[in-house]
Amino acid sequence: MNDKQANTNTQLFNIGDIEVAKVIDTVECFSPKALYVNKDRDAFDEHLDWLQPYFIDESKRMLLSIHSFVLKTRHHNILVDTCIGNHKIGNGFPQWNNREGNYLAELAAANCRPEDIDYVFCTHMHVDHTGWNTQLKDGRWVPTFPNAKYLFNEREWAGLKESPYEYDQAVLKQNIVPIIEANQVQWVDNAWTIDDQVSLLPTPGHTPGHCSVAINEGSSRAVITGDMMIHPVQIAEPQWHQSADYDKAMAVATRSAFVDDHCDQDILILGTHFNTPTGVYIEEQQGRKRIRFES
């Protein structure tokens, strides 16, 4: 589950007048056993015609992208999810320890500097969504985005503090507490609205306070998923249990309702771990939920 792939170029989406840039930290191949309960590569067989080549490789491994989205609205520059980060230790995935990735260069390629970010929002507080909250300078973890307010969900914070897992405590120490100590946190709940174009969409189940992000600009709409769904196969199979979901029944209910509510709607789904082309629409095809790509 660790074959690293070359990064693709920055991908851009336009939601009305809002520009959204996908900024990649890494793309990796994973066995379905690393993500789903009681699933192996053969579980993908009936979906290969629409999942390959973008989301499943020739060996039936999942291609998962770990990326941020930068939203440039009329009001703010908003960064959604901050990926893995560099120099972190204690991760549950050994290949992510002591990384030397090129994320900041990818951010610059999207015409954005760390100091340009007004808000940082992490859909949840897992390791691959909070890593670039901080960077190591002179032996200390300091905020990567010096002018930003980090929107921390109170439910996520409460859940993370109580986690018995060492890798969650590493996230707390390296990615979360330094932001609090720097007084750059704005505490939010699931009903938070960033501005009149961007708001949080509660999608609980993966974590206690998990929120996706809704983008609305005139008649144009999009949703950034977070880990409410990790791979496009869950559009067709929302009942597949994700190993890391803290409440698996709730996660399935949330995901199933989301797929039904967004099917055959003109709403762009921006998958937080969807490999390029990343932006898809959900539609029904011969009684099954499938995807079509942004035209």
Query: What is the spatial distance between Cα 293 and Cα 295, in angstroms, rounded to a whole number?
Result: 6
Q: Would you state the CATH architecture of domain 3-293?
A: 4-Layer Sandwich (3.60)
Res 6: pLDDT: 39
Residue segments in the chain with a per-residue pLDDT below the cut of 50: 1-8
Q: What angle do CA 244, 246, 249 make, to 5 degrees?
A: 105
Res 9: pLDDT: 65
CB-hemisphere CA count at 13 Å for 123? 30
Tokens 């993966």 sit on residue? 206
Q: Which residues, 6+ apart, have CB-to-CB distance to 260 below 8 Å?
A: none
Res 3: pLDDT: 39
Task: Please check whether residue 199 is in contact with residue 18, taking contact to mean a CB–CB distance below 8 angstroms.
Answer: no
For the record, the structure tokens of 87 come out as 């120099």
Res 245: pLDDT: 95
Whole-model pTM: value is 0.95
- pLDDT, tens digit, 9 for 90 and up, residues 84-135: 999 999 988 899 999 999 999 999 999 999 999 999 999 999 999 999 999 9
Res 191: pLDDT: 87
Res 91: pLDDT: 87
Res 295: pLDDT: 60
Res 92: pLDDT: 84
Task: Please check whether residue 110 is in contact with residue 23, taking contact to mean a CB–CB distance below 8 angstroms.
Answer: yes
Res 2: pLDDT: 37
